[in-house]
Structure 1
Amino acid sequence: MKITSIRGYLEDFLKKKGATINQFSEISGVNSGTISNIINGNRPIAMQQLDRITDGMGLAQGTFYDLYVEECFLQSSPNWRRIRPFIYRCVELDKLECIQRVVGIMMDNLSYTNALFDTAEDFFKQGKHAAAVMLYESVVESEKYQHSERLALCQYRLFTIALGDDQDLNLRTAVQFEGFVDRLDEVDQLDALKDLANTYISLRRWEKVEQLAKEMGNKASIQYKHRYEEARKEELHKEPSMPLFSYILYSHVLCSSVCDERGDYDQALYYVSLYSDMSWVQEDTQEALQLMNQCKGWAKANTYLYKLMKGDIEVLPEYVAYIEQQEDEILPALFKIIQAANLYQFNVDDMLLHFEKGISSYRDRHEEVGTYNRQVIADRYAHFMAEVAFYYLSRKKYDIGINCILESLESSVKINCESCIIRCVGLFEQFRYATSFESQTEYQKLISEVQRHNEKKNGFASGNI
């Protein structure tokens, strides 16, 4: 006869081993009276008791969790005191499918929504994102018709967790979340706008970056005025993740970057002047002073940069000397220098050789660098290598240039950066006559990866390109 209960497995174990309840009590550390009541069906099994019984039977932890869901949550009324430790234990043992089943049961009773949200927040803070996503999604489902702050916060968390290497997916995730920003707490809105703006930077959606940056700056300015400048100062009910002034300054930084992308360097320098002036800042914490110094550094670097992009090549030595001391800014700075070199036809061979080690270190960066999230870093590296490729090809250094194309294309395929893929393909085809057989083989391999991704994206399989 097939055994269908934990009690049945325990009875069968004792019978096969010829062990008494008292003997098993010694082995498992569970009181003999408790074991007797469990076997007789007079007492539900607590989480800790289940794990001890499992150990006593010499089985892997979590062996009976599927049955536990059936017996304790499906066949009887769910109890949060029993559910909570079970969910946490499932996370420890990576038994996420059990969590999914329990959450599905709980959502029949909306009174559990608060508890599920609080647990999701705890998992999010601990970095246990897979479990957090399940709980956030259940809260979203239960509150999808409500205009609630909690619903918006769940969407914010899901947006943060979902960001990854696939830029198509990042775009869909950003668009889905954007409509919930205004429902967030006014302090959380600042971080949400900052995170969205950074995402759109990596997607090169500059109009969206500008819109979000200005919105963040305006909201932060209003909150700053309420807190520090009005006759009746108001305390914020919660603190933002950064000092309040930094959101205002960062909005100017983002706007200067947008102007840079548009080639409007005079307007970019105007925004630099805005985040250079910090005479109005009233925060004086160590963190505030550190951020102010960071902004001063950006202002100095970007003043050199925008003058260079306007054609003032004489600032290049000062600019290079400055960025040498700013490790996090080397790649963004070099990208713009190469752009200027391609635009104004000046030689930077020695500089590229000098920074070779720093450039290669960016390829495998997976963590945030300064204010740049990993999506921005990956995007900048792919575009940087394409710019370097054009630089070398223009100087008839074909072997180096082709290698840079392949490096850029490989990085672009990883993050599904369509604009950079198109540029790499154009450059490779333009200079195909100068490529080796090995380079053409590697190129075709990468193009096949692009094809496979497009087939998966479009939901069908096609022939060769």
Structure 2
Amino acid sequence: MYNTTTILTEITKHMKDNNLILSDLAREAEMNPGTMSSIINGNRTLSVDQLDRITKAMGHPVGYYYERYVSEYLTEANPNWRRMSPFIHNCAKLNKLDCIHDVVNLLMDKLGYSESLFELAEELFHEKMYQAAAILYENVALSEKKQYSERLAMCQYRLFHTRQGDNQEKNYEAAVQFEIYVERLDEIDQLEALKDLANTYRSLRKWDKVELFAKALGDKAKIQYKLEQQRHHVKKENSKKPSFPLFAYWAFSHLLRAEVCEAHKDYEKALQHTYKYGDLSWVKDSDETTLKWKRQYEEWSKANTYVNKLHAGEIGVLADYVTFFSSRKEELLSGLDNILEAANRYHLNVDNILNQFQTEILVLLHKPECVGTYNQQLVIERYVHFTHELAVYYFNKNNFVDGFTFLLNCLGKSTLINNKSYIIKCVKLYEFYQECAASETKTAYRNLINEVDNDET
């Protein structure tokens, strides 16, 4: 049987069952008795705020009647945005995404609601209610898919953000889908978008893509910086401000391009890019933000100079590099990872360094954290790379207990983030050394492989 009771009949029944008169319910709901009377008698439309007050007075959780509210109060021929907007906002707070879908479906058949939905989506996005915002962005994008609009591009940019997570395959799909919309964004937004795209591909080690978007970022940042210098004395108060100083985007593009060169083992060219972003003496501004970013890039340049030389085989820089990152928490994971990679490549013994950071490594095993300026995807990717290098290092030393410990840790995290490349590397490494594995290690490995198989089905 279908439930034919309405919200108003439920309220009336509650009053009867609890021997309440209208003024009693109004007092409990902290509402004016006259307003309550008009609502009960059907002479006044129930707002979502009034519904929440009455719902709590009846002893139900807020949102208890939201599904009915959609069908009873929002399915009008001419939708009332003043009622719909706060309702969607409340649904977002309560994570009642089905209700948001229902309301948006009602609106998308009507003309003229794209702008209002987009503005509300922006509110939700900045309040970090990403799932709810994504529903609105998706529908606005759908309604404007045939238009070459900046709003459509911004919807796609926001959706790219909301789709970023631990699953690296999905991160890749989201990046590819967003790429074609970058040029439609405002010039300042393009800088952020190119930075974000490059960072996503960086976490996926898609180096050709990183080079493509890093170069575009550098070119556009250089143009914007020159324009800013030309209008320095006639700045418009309402002009859009970038999240970082314009020179910082240019510097970041060279940092990324240095990483690409390093990945391709072109260490000489990597150093050229590294020296470029390390020398920002041409930036003449002296405000606090400018000085902060100049110091930051100078420090990164120093660190990455060590890294490039180390990977190129200049082992003499090892001690100085350890000294450099040992006092910088945000550089610890990348520092240890770089040392392990060099150790495996050049057959170095770095046991003393691993012993020095034994406590920190154990902490990383349990919870690799996002620190400093590195986003979560980059931290997790670096962590997976590090645990794989650590496993290889211990296997090379015939330390099979520690080798399998880090191999299983790498495989587990790779499975969690759906990193197929590292899953394959872990499987190959395990198969090479499986005869040295203890029975409990073999069981743990089979359990992880079963998880991989389940994810594929």
TM-score under structure 1 length normalisation: 0.93
d(CA) in 2 for partners of 1:2, 1:264? 70
In structure 2, relative to structure 1, the CA distance for the partners of 1:8 and 1:221 (3 Å cut) is same
Farther-moved stretch of structure 1 (11-20 vs 197-206): 11-20
d(CA) in 2 for partners of 1:2, 1:399? 62
Correspondence for 2:164: 163
d(CA) in 2 for partners of 1:450, 1:43? 57
Farther-moved stretch of structure 1 (225-234 vs 244-253): 225-234
In structure 2, relative to structure 1, the CA distance for the partners of 1:23 and 1:414 (3 Å cut) is closer
Correspondence for 1:252: 254
In 1, are the aligned partners of 2:217 and 2:253 still within 8 Å (CA)?
yes
From 242, 245, 252, the equivalent of 2:244 is: 242
In 1, are the aligned partners of 2:368 and 2:383 still within 8 Å (CA)?
no
In structure 2, relative to structure 1, the CA distance for the partners of 1:26 and 1:266 (3 Å cut) is closer
In 1, are the aligned partners of 2:171 and 2:200 still within 8 Å (CA)?
yes
d(CA) in 1 for partners of 2:163, 2:30? 43
1:356 CA displacement: 2.2
Q: Which amino acid aligns with 2:418?
A: N
Which residues in structure 2 correspond to 1:188-199 (within 5 Å)? 188-199=189-200
Alpha-carbon displacement from aligned partner over 1:365-404 (angstroms, at most 9, x marks no partner): 5764333211111111111111111111111112111211
1:306 CA displacement: 1.4
Correspondence for 1:49: 50
Correspondence for 1:458: none
d(CA) in 2 for partners of 1:306, 1:423? 24
Farther-moved stretch of structure 1 (411-420 vs 182-191): 411-420
Alpha-carbon displacement from aligned partner over 1:162-196 (angstroms, at most 9, x marks no partner): 11111111110110011111111110111111111
Farther-moved stretch of structure 1 (210-219 vs 325-334): 325-334
Q: Unmatched 5+ residue regions in structure 1?
A: 456-465
Alpha-carbon displacement from aligned partner over 1:388-447 (angstroms, at most 9, x marks no partner): 111111111121112111111111111111111111111111111211111111111111
Correspondence for 2:74: 73
Correspondence for 1:128: 129
d(CA) in 2 for partners of 1:370, 1:201? 17
Correspondence for 2:407: 405
Farther-moved stretch of structure 1 (71-80 vs 186-195): 71-80
Correspondence for 1:446: 448
User: Is 2:203 the counterpart of 1:202?
Assistant: yes
d(CA) in 2 for partners of 1:301, 1:401? 28
d(CA) in 2 for partners of 1:127, 1:280? 38
Correspondence for 1:346: 348
In structure 2, relative to structure 1, the CA distance for the partners of 1:22 and 1:284 (3 Å cut) is same
d(CA) in 1 for partners of 2:19, 2:340? 79
Correspondence for 2:304: 302
1:296 CA displacement: 0.9
Correspondence for 1:287: 289
Which residues in structure 2 correspond to 1:56-95 (within 5 Å)? 56-75=57-76, 77-95=78-96
Alpha-carbon displacement from aligned partner over 1:95-127 (angstroms, at most 9, x marks no partner): 222222111111122322111111111111111
TM-score under structure 2 length normalisation: 0.94
1:140 CA displacement: 1.0
In structure 2, relative to structure 1, the CA distance for the partners of 1:338 and 1:105 (3 Å cut) is same
d(CA) in 1 for partners of 2:299, 2:28? 65
Matched position secondary structure for 2:20 = coil
1:220 CA displacement: 0.3
Correspondence for 2:268: 266
Q: Which amino acid aligns with 2:320?
A: E
Alpha-carbon displacement from aligned partner over 1:205-254 (angstroms, at most 9, x marks no partner): 00000111000000000011111158997769211111110000001100
Q: Which amino acid aligns with 1:404?
A: F
Aligned residues: 455
d(CA) in 2 for partners of 1:52, 1:341? 65
Q: Which amino acid aligns with 1:211?
A: L
Alpha-carbon displacement from aligned partner over 1:42-89 (angstroms, at most 9, x marks no partner): 221122222222233333322222222112211453211111222222
Correspondence for 2:396: 394
Farther-moved stretch of structure 1 (132-141 vs 203-212): 132-141
Q: Which amino acid aligns with 1:408?
A: C
In structure 2, relative to structure 1, the CA distance for the partners of 1:305 and 1:48 (3 Å cut) is closer
Correspondence for 1:361: 363
1:147 CA displacement: 0.8
What is the alpha-carbon root mean square deviation over aligned residues?
2.0
Correspondence for 1:40: 41
Q: Unmatched 5+ residue regions in structure 2?
A: none
In structure 2, relative to structure 1, the CA distance for the partners of 1:363 and 1:163 (3 Å cut) is farther
In structure 2, relative to structure 1, the CA distance for the partners of 1:269 and 1:25 (3 Å cut) is closer
Correspondence for 2:6: 5
Q: Which amino acid aligns with 1:263?
A: K
Farther-moved stretch of structure 1 (225-234 vs 332-341): 225-234
Correspondence for 2:113: 112
Farther-moved stretch of structure 1 (319-328 vs 251-260): 319-328
Q: Which amino acid aligns with 1:203?
A: L
Alpha-carbon displacement from aligned partner over 1:5-63 (angstroms, at most 9, x marks no partner): 22222233333344333343333333333333323322211222222222333333222
